[in-house]
């Protein structure tokens, strides 16, 4: 699926898309290939992950700025070479270490055959620099993924820097506090309570021809709300149960 086809594909499915938030992080180490493979097996439509650069400029999939929570390493991701990062073990949800390694964006593209839609959150401030933004765009282009990838960030400047190099890229913002939909984005990711503060949020986003995916990694308690509002996609830390719940309500 191309992101530009989302509206048509959503109508065909009759339900919101399920976006696997960091894969299946309740079962596997988040943002690892095992986590993404588990999410796809559970029926996730889209994979969401976080992008940072290693010291030597490789794009790696890692949420935190530092290594301690998710690995047996220490220090900041940006200060480590890819070779060093690859020696680290990652942690399961219960904290035990595994042989799963920190993957690169290229490894994820190869694993999925460059066919699975991706939602890529830009975490590293180096995306503002043209050479780093160019490396990102060239990586997607090399795998034919420019129309199957969308970028988001809490920092609009990172999104703007990337889109300057490829304006057709689907891009948007995440917010924890702004109850007004972004005007210059194709994708809106508001923290879910903002939809209650602004009941017209979804309608406004759709009127502008944009996509909405609320920031809510545990959407099961609010599925009825999201279906009533007509959101386009749902984040999920546990994609399997969300897919099953949405499918059963369709039946």
Q: In the chain, how many domains are there?
A: 1
Q: Over the stretch 131-169, which tens digit does the pLDDT of each residue have?
A: 999 999 999 999 999 999 999 999 999 999 999 999 999
What is the residue range of 98's domain? 3-250
CATH number of the structural domain spanning residue 61: 3.20.20.190
CA nearest to 119, candidates 244, 240, 239:
239
Distance CA 203, CA 247 (A): 24
Q: Over the stretch 185-241, which tens digit does the pLDDT of each residue have?
A: 999 999 999 999 999 999 999 999 999 999 999 999 999 999 999 999 999 999 999
3-state secondary structure 79-106: HCCHHHHHCCCEECCCCCEECCCCCEHH
What Å distances lie between residue 140 and 134, 225, 229, CA to CA?
A: 10, 35, 33
CA nearest to 17, candidates 233, 231, 170, 214:
233
DSSP helix/strand/coil, 47: strand
DSSP helix/strand/coil, 236: strand
């Amino acid at each position: 699926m191309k992101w530009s086809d989302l509206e048509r594909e959503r109508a065909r499915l009759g339900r919101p898309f399920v976006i696997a938030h960091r894969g299946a992080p309740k079962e596997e180490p988040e943002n690892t290939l095992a986590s993404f493979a588990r999410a796809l097996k559970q029926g996730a439509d889209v994979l969401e992950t976080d992008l940072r650069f290693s010291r030597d400029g490789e794009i790696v999939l890692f949420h935190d700025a530092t290594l301690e929570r998710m690995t047996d390493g220490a220090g900041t991701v940006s200060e480590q070479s890819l070779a060093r990062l690859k020696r680290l073990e990652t942690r399961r949800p219960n904290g035990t270490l595994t042989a799963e390694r920190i993957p690169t964006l290229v490894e994820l593209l190869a694993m999925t055959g460059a066919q699975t839609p991706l939602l890529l959150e830009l975490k590293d401030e180096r995306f503002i620099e043209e050479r780093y933004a160019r490396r990102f765009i060239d990586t997607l282009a090399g795998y034919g993924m420019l129309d199957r990838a969308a970028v988001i960030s809490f920092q609009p400047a990172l999104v703007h820097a990337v889109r300057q190099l490829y304006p057709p890229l689907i891009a948007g913002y995440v917010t924890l506090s702004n109850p007004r939909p972004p005007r210059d984005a194709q994708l809106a990711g508001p923290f879910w309570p903002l939809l209650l503060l602004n009941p017209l949020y979804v309608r406004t986003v759709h009127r502008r021809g944009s996509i909405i995916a609320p920031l809510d990694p545990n959407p099961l308690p609010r599925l009825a709300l999201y279906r009533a509002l007509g959101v386009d996609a749902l984040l999920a830390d546990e994609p399997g149960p969300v897919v099953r719940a949405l499918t059963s309500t369709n039946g």
